[in-house]
Structures are given as structure tokens and as C-alpha cells.
């Protein structure tokens, strides 16, 4: 015969088990129990920084799901984050990776940041075409990590580097950034940015919208105006679907100029239009530099731009080929070095 105290203890245990099962299945506590096990860990904790540097060379990047973070039921962030204001950008100070890391401790390997107090509406990949511009990259990261965090963005930085010293192909690097970023995380917004453009106002939200957006429409180099109405260079934002719809950039623009004009024509050809933030908000600084070697004009742009509508479905994401030669998760960005062939 069981004593009353034993019966009571048994009932208590049963009710605990019952409550636990119900909470687990209904997720009442606001996060799933399996994920609770990794509460407090960062998505990147599995990566060992054995070389005591700021980066890891991933031999098999596909195996590391370093962006699958804890699914807290945070409230959605406000559409417009609080306390947005103009910024003073000083590009003459000296910055080091150590300094940027020290000032952005929330940023995780691969250059991934997200708001801590709320859930962002968009998952944003920032794609930067790159070759041999380390001082600019440091200046960009120094300014842009704080910028994106103040904008409460859930974002990752992708620096796509052309490995060969041959003619540069900005547009193809953008297409590669889009393709590679999607292997990391379910990004739904892509911001394609030059490494030398820094926004001067937090109200210039680096976000996607119903139409593709031109974010750098008031650059100091052009006296904070549009040099021509259809300009679409510097920094543009596309949702995943918008970029697919235009089949990305053309891969056939080697050397300086025109790939952005052609992209503009693609956008118009599929019936979308370009949106722009107001010019007093979109003020941006371009870091001064001379034209890079290997990025001369080739003189072929004009013809390609005029044929955008006819060519766009044969030339773009659908025809993209490249080889990744190095894939690095730096503390402040993901760097993907690629062999893209030559002109």
C-alpha cells in the first residue's frame, strides 16, 4: 500500500512531465526547447580561431551552418528604427581590423550582425565587388558595421574578390555574391555596394522595397546630385525575387562602366521602376581614389546597354560560371575569392 506522501510525489512528477510536454509542443515559452540547449551560444561558436587571427579558411564552407541562430520569439523591430540622424564621416583617420573588431563586438564571424532586442523584417546580404583595396575596405567596415547595427539590420557582409589581375568585372562579382550568400542564410534582400561609398545619414535605410532601389543617389563626387536621370551605380538594393526577375547583372561587362546602366534597363524591361530615397537623406561620401589598373573602359558597353532587353535572359544569373579559390570567414566579413575567367 502506497503512502499518501508517495502518491503525492508521483502525482507531482506526472504533472511536471505533462507540463513540460505541453510547453514543448506548443512552444509557449517563446522558443523551442531543442534550441534552448544552445541558448547563449553564438552561431559561430563552433568555429575555432586556431590561427589566432581574425579569420578562418573554410575548406568545406557548405558544412558549416554558422548562420542558423537561436529562434527566440523576439518582437518584430519597428519599420523605422529609433534615433536615426545625420553622420559625420571622416575618411582620413587610420583604422585597423583590431580597432573595428573592438568597436563591434556583436559582429560574428563572416561579418554577420543582427539586432538583439527585436527581430528584423529583412535578412540582408551586402555584396561588395573587390580587388586590392584594403584601406577602403577597412574604412567601409569601420563605418558600415555601426551603421547597419544602428539600423537594426540582420545582415551579412560578402566581399567578392576577383583572383586574377586581368580586366575587372564588377557585375559578375555581384552575381557571384548573390549566389554564394544564398548558400549561407535565407537572405531576402541584397545590397550591392561599391567598397568606397559610405552613407552620411542613418535615415538612408539600407533595405529592400517593392521596387529595386538606388541608394547612392546623392554622392559628394557628383555634388550630391544625379549626374543623369537613369544613373543606377554605387549602391543598389534588390529583393531576392527582384534580382532573379532581371536575371541579375550581365556577366559580359569587363572594365569600367555601363553594367549598372544595363541593369537599369533590365529593371525597366520587366516593368519595375527604380525607387530612390530623398536626396537630402541619401547623401553619401565616395572615398577618393584613382581609377584602378585593370579596370579601364573597353568601349563595348554602349552596345550591350542598348541590347539589354533582348539579351537579359541569356546573360546573367542563369549563365553564371566561376570557381571559388578561397572562402574566408573573417571576423568582419566573408571573403570569397573567385576565378571568373577573362575577357
Instruction: Identify whether the C-beta of residue 179 lies closer than 8 Å to the C-beta of residue 243.
Output: no
CB of 281 to ligand BGN, least distance (A): 20
Q: Is 201 in the site for ligand BGN (CB under 6 A)?
A: no
Q: Which of 192, 195, 105, 104 minimizes the C-alpha distance to 146?
A: 104
Of 240 and 283, CB closest to ligand BGN:
283
Q: Write the interaction track for ligand BGN spanning residues 203-242; mark x where CB under 6 A is met and - where it is not.
A: ----------------------------x-x---------
Instruction: Report the C-alpha gap between 343 and 224 in whole angstroms.
Output: 34
Q: Is 302 in the site for ligand BGN (CB under 6 A)?
A: yes
Please count the residues of this chain forming the interface with ligand BGN, following the rule CB under 6 A: 9
Instruction: Identify whether the C-beta of residue 163 lies closer than 8 Å to the C-beta of residue 336.
Output: no
Instruction: Report the C-alpha gap between 151 and 153 in whole angstroms.
Output: 5
Which DSSP helix (H) or strand (E) runs through 330? strand 323-330
Beta strands in 58-152 (DSSP E): 112-113, 123-130
Nearest-CB residue to ligand BGN?
257
Of 99 and 297, CB closest to ligand BGN:
297
Of 215 and 328, CB closest to ligand BGN:
215
Q: What residues have CB less than 8 Å from 334, skipping those under 6 apart?
A: 110, 111, 156, 157, 158, 159, 181, 184, 327, 328
Instruction: Report the C-alpha gap between 26 and 75 in whole angstroms.
Output: 18
CA dihedral 56, 62, 64, 68 (to 10 degrees): 120
CB of 232 to ligand BGN, least distance (A): 7
CB of 174 to ligand BGN, least distance (A): 13
Q: Which of 104, 250, 301, 334 binds ligand BGN (CB under 6 A)?
A: 301
CB of 256 to ligand BGN, least distance (A): 7
Residue 170 vs residues 131, 152, 175, 328: alpha-carbon distances, Å:
10, 28, 9, 20
Instruction: Report the C-alpha gap between 324 and 338 in whole angstroms.
Output: 4
Of 184 and 261, CB closest to ligand BGN:
261
Of 136 and 145, CB closest to ligand BGN:
136
CB of 91 to ligand BGN, least distance (A): 19
Residue 229 has a CB neighbour count (10 Å cut-off) of: 7
Q: Burial level of 211, CB count in 10 A (0-12/13-18/19+)?
A: middle
- Considering only residues 255-294, where is the footprint of ligand BGN by CB under 6 A? 257-258, 260-261
Which DSSP helix (H) or strand (E) runs through 162? strand 154-162
Of 173 and 305, CB closest to ligand BGN:
305
Residue 342 has a CB neighbour count (10 Å cut-off) of: 10
Catalytic residues: 194, 196, 256, 259-260, 286, 289, 291
CB of 199 to ligand BGN, least distance (A): 17
CB of 128 to ligand BGN, least distance (A): 16
Of 185 and 249, CB closest to ligand BGN:
249
In the complex, the residues that contact ligand BGN under the rule CB under 6 A are 231, 233, 257-258, 260-261, 301-302, 305
Amino acid at each position: 500500500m502506497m503512502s499518501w506522501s508517495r502518491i503525492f510525489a508521483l502525482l507531482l512528477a506526472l504533472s511536471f512531465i505533462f507540463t513540460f510536454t505541453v510547453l514543448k509542443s506548443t512552444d509557449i515559452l517563446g522558443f523551442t526547447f531543442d534550441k534552448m540547449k544552445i541558448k547563449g551560444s553564438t552561431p559561430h561558436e563552433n568555429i575555432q580561431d586556431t590561427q589566432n587571427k581574425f579569420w578562418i579558411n573554410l575548406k568545406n564552407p557548405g558544412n558549416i551552418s554558422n548562420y542558423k541562430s537561436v529562434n527566440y520569439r523576439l518582437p518584430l523591430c519597428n519599420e523605422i528604427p529609433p534615433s536615426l540622424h545625420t553622420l559625420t564621416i571622416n575618411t582620413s583617420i587610420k583604422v585597423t581590423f583590431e580597432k573595428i573588431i573592438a568597436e563591434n563586438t556583436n559582429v560574428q564571424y563572416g561579418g554577420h550582425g543582427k539586432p538583439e532586442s527585436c527581430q528584423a523584417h529583412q535578412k540582408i546580404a551586402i555584396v561588395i565587388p573587390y580587388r586590392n583595396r584594403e584601406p577602403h575596405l577597412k574604412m567601409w567596415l569601420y563605418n558600415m558595421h555601426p551603421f547597419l547595427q544602428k539600423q537594426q539590420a540582420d545582415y551579412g557582409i560578402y566581399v567578392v574578390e576577383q583572383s586574377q589581375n586581368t580586366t575587372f568585372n564588377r557585375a559578375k562579382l555581384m552575381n557571384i555574391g548573390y549566389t554564394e550568400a544564398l548558400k549561407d542564410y535565407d537572405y531576402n534582400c541584397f545590397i550591392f555596394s561599391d567598397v568606397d561609398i559610405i552613407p552620411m545619414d542613418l535615415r538612408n535605410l539600407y533595405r529592400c522595397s517593392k521596387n529595386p532601389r538606388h541608394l547612392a543617389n546623392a554622392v559628394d563626387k557628383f555634388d550630391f546630385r544625379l549626374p543623369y536621370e537613369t544613373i543606377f551605380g554605387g549602391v543598389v538594393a534588390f529583393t531576392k525575387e527582384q534580382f532573379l526577375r532581371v536575371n541579375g547583372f550581365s556577366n559580359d561587362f569587363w572594365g569600367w562602366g555601363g553594367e549598372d546602366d544595363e541593369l537599369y534597363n533590365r529593371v525597366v524591361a520587366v516593368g519595375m521602376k527604380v525607387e530612390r530615397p530623398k536626396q537630402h537623406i541619401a547623401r553619401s561620401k565616395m572615398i577618393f581614389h584613382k581609377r584602378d589598373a585593370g579596370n579601364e573602359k573597353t568601349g563595348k558597353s554602349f552596345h550591350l546597354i542598348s541590347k539589354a532587353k533582348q539579351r537579359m535572359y541569356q546573360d546573367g544569373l542563369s549563365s553564371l560560371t566561376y570557381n571559388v579559390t578561397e572562402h574566408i570567414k573573417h571576423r568582419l566579413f566573408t571573403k570569397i575569392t573567385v576565378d571568373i575567367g577573362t575577357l
